[in-house]
Structure 1
C-alpha cells in the first residue's frame, strides 16, 4: 500500500529533525556508552583480540578460519557485544600466538588520574623557556602501556617574553586561548588568536607566537606524540 503524501512528509520531517538533533561529525562520541551496556570486560577483551589480529596482519576472515569461529561471532567478540567462553579464548590464543591472560591485560591495568590545583602546575624547562615563555605542566602519568604521550601545558607570555615562531617537534598540538591576544604562526600562515579561539596543527611545521598584541597572554597547549621507548 502506498504512503500518502502527508505520511511521506511526516517521515521526511522526522528524519530531518533527527539529523539536526544528532549530526554525523565523522567520529566517536567520547561520552557515549558502548552499546549502552556496562560490559567493560567484554570490550577490553575485544580490543585486545582486534589489536593482536591487526598486528599479525590478519583479516577477520583469516582469524575466523584459524579458530573455527563464525565471522559473526568473531565480529561480536571484537566489538565487545558478547562474552566469549574459555574454550573460545583458548582457540583465539592459539591462533594469535598469545597467552589467554593477554586478553585481560588492559582490563586489569590500574587506570590513574592526575589532579592539579589552580596555580600549582609543575614549572619545566622547554625550548621556549629561554625566550621568556613560562611552561606549567598540568598533568602526567607513568602509564607506559599507552602508545601515545599527551602533555598538557599552561603557557604564559609576559613583557619579558620574546616572539619565537620557530618551534618544531613531532606529533600534534592543540592550543586554546585563555587571555590576551597573539598572532600565532603555523608554517606560512598567521592566525590572530583571542580568548576562546583554538588552533590544532601538525607540530612538525615551524610554529609559535609571531606578534604579541595584548599582554599577558595565556593559552592551554596540549601536545601529543607517539611513544618511542617501547
Structure 2
C-alpha cells in the first residue's frame, strides 16, 4: 500500500475512533482542516512537521501513521536493508529505517536516517515532548536548538530536550547518515 494511503487510512480511523470532526482535529493540532482532509483522502503526504502535530493530538508516534505493523513483539531483530523504511516527500526528502518497528509498546523510537544533500526539517522549528539524540555517522548536519547552532560531523552526537524549538539541515556535499533516537515514543 502506498504511504499516502496508509497515513490517510490511519488518520481517519483514529480521528473517527476518538469521535473527532476534521475541524476539531484541526483546532487541536494547528493543522488546517483542508490539509487534514487531503491527507485522509490519500491525496498528499504530510510533512514531518504536520505529522508530528497530528501525532501529538492522539499521543501517538509518527511511526503509528507510516508503518504497516501487523504484529508486535517483545524482541525485534532487523537486518540491514530489511527494516521498515519510510520516504518523506517533503523538504527533508529523508528516508528512515525504523529500529523499533514491531516492538510492543516501546518507550522510545530509533531510526537510521538518510538525509539527502540540502534536506531540511521544514520552514519552521519543531518541538515536541521528550528527549532527542542525534548521532551522525556520515556527512554534515547543522542542528539549531533554540538559537544555538551545532554543526555535526561524523562521530558527533547531540542530545537535547525536544520541547525546545529545533530544526536541522544537511549542509554537506553527501547524504547524511544519522541514528536518531526520540523518547518517549512520539516522533521522528
TM superposition score normalised by structure 1: 0.43
Runs of 4+ aligned structure 1 residues displaced above 3 Å come to 140-144, 162-165
The partner residue of 1:130 within 70, 90, 95 is: 90
1:114 maps to 2:76: yes
User: 1:112 and 1:130, CA in 2 relative to 1: closer, same or farther beyond 3 A?
Assistant: same
Query: Conserved in 2, the CA contact under 8 Å of 1:182 and 1:214?
Result: no
3-state SS in 2 of match to 1:149 = coil
| Comparing 185-194 and 134-143, the one that deviates more | 134-143
Instruction: Work out which structure has the larger RCO, using CA pairs closer than 8 Å and 6 or more positions apart in sequence.
Output: 2
- The answer for the alignment partner of 2:19 in structure 1 is none
Query: Does 2:133 correspond to 1:154?
Result: no
Could you tell me how far apart the structure 2 residues matched to 1:185 and 1:129 are?
A: 22
Is the contact made by 2:110 and 2:180 (CA closer than 8 Å) also made in structure 1? Answer: yes
Bigger radius of gyration: 1
Q: Which has the higher helix share?
A: 1
Deviations 1:164-202 (A, max 9, x none): 362222211111100001221111111110111001111
Shift of 1:158: 1.1
- Please tell me the root mean square deviation across aligned C-alpha atoms, in Å: 2.5
> Quick one: distance in 2 between partners of 1:226 and 1:157?
21
Instruction: Say whether 1:209 aligns with 2:171.
Output: no
Residues 129 and 220 of structure 1: CA distance in aligned 2, closer, same or farther (over 3 Å)? farther
d(CA) in 1 for partners of 2:185, 2:142: 28
Unaligned runs of 5+ in 1: 1-110
TM-score, normalization: structure 2? Answer: 0.52
In the alignment, what sits opposite 2:139? 180
Q: For 2:97 and 2:127, how far apart are their aligned partners in 1? A: 19
Residue 222 (1) aligns with residue 184 (2): no
Runs of 5+ consecutive residues of structure 2 not aligned to the other structure? 1-72
